[in-house]
């Protein structure tokens, strides 16, 4: 079954730049997919449209049965509850501990305290940081901070995890740790993962599906692909 479907999707920004042209895509539930392409190829725009940070100017996007372009602003939370998002720059709250950062999203939706505790500890266990619950973000390495951000994104067990250049600020060893964590989440929780990156080494090692964008066009959708020079 498809978790994501795009039909003839176009995104033209107000300044006249077309970031995505006539994109058709179907992504199956449970898959792990890389979105690759050079800077400005439309990777972030595609990810932003999936969580309704941006709306397509043409075409249709369906995520988990929701017609994303058509949801009212007041109902966007219904979409956001189905997904988790991880950014390049972690975006943790500096004055909250690791536990509190991950718990925050659940507190906002009014989950019971004992449920919050169980889910937060499980998420932190999944990213290998159960021993850091009381630390603050500035006491952690970059790789650890990104793992906290991943725990926060999966704590409510979303169907979809969107990652926009999650390893962009990390060295190769830390990047590999992040990839192992993501792979494990994909396997054990069945979370569909979509990750934008231009980290070719990672893509080549992981042997996952690869969507290649170039100047806003889909140039390839490959099973178990590698990052070739075509993308640049």
Does residue number 84 form part of the binding site for ligand ADP (CB under 6 A)? no
Nearer to ligand ADP, 101 or 197 (CB): 197
Q: Which stretch binds ligand ADP (CB under 6 A): 34-42, 65-73, 98-106, 223-231?
A: 34-42
Angstrom distance (rounded) from CA 6 to CA 192: 16
Does residue number 167 form part of the binding site for ligand ADP (CB under 6 A)? no
Helices (H), strands (E): how many in the chain?
7, 10
Residue from the set 37, 137, 143, 158 that interacts with ligand ADP by CB under 6 A: 37
Binding-site string for ligand ADP from residue 39 to residue 68, where x marks contact by CB under 6 A and - marks none: xxxxxxx-----------------------
Kindly identify the residues of this chain, within the stretch 2-21, that bind ligand ADP according to CB under 6 A.
13, 15, 17, 19
Token representation of residue 71? 């949801």
What are the DSSP calls for 97-148, one per residue?
A: -HHHHHHHHHHHTT--HHHHHHHHHHHHHHTT-GGGTT--GGGS-HHHHHHH
Which residue from 56, 32, 60 is spatially nearest to 46, judged by alpha carbons?
A: 56
Number of residues that bind ligand ADP (CB under 6 A): 12
All residues at 6 or more sequence positions from 37 whose CB lies less than 8 Å from its CB, including other chains: 43, 198, 212, 213, 214, 231, 232
Nearer to ligand ADP, 43 or 132 (CB): 43
Nearer to ligand ADP, 23 or 140 (CB): 23
Q: Which residue has the tokens 């390839």?
A: 220
Q: Which stretch binds ligand ADP (CB under 6 A): 22-30, 33-41, 129-137, 173-181?
A: 33-41
Residues that bind ligand ADP (CB under 6 A): 13, 15, 17, 19, 37, 39-45
């Amino acid at each position: 079954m498809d978790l994501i479907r795009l039909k003839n999707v176009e995104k033209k920004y107000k300044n006249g730049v077309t970031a995505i042209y006539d994109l058709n895509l179907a992504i199956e539930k449970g898959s792990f997919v890389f979105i690759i392409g050079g800077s400005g190829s439309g990777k972030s725009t595609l990810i932003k449209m999936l969580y309704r940070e941006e709306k397509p100017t043409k075409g249709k996007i369906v995520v988990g049965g929701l017609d994303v372009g058509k949801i009212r602003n007041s109902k966007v939370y219904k979409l956001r509850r189905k997904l988790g998002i991880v950014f390049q720059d972690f975006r943790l709250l500096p004055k909250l501990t690791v536990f509190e950062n991950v718990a925050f999203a659940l507190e906002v939706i009014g989950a019971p305290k004992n449920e919050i505790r169980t889910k937060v500890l499980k998420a932190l266990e999944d990213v290998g940081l159960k021993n850091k619950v009381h630390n603050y973000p500035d006491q952690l390495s970059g790789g650890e901070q990104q793992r906290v951000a991943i725990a926060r994104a999966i704590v409510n067990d979303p169907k979809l995890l969107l990652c926009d250049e999650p390893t962009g600020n990390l060295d190769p060893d830390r990047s590999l740790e992040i990839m192992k964590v993501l792979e494990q989440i994909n396997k054990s929780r069945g979370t569909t993962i979509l990750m934008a990156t231009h980290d070719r080494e990672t893509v080549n090692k992981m042997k996952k599906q690869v969507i290649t964008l170039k100047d806003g066009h889909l140039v390839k959708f490959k099973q178990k692909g590698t990052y070739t020079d075509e993308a640049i």
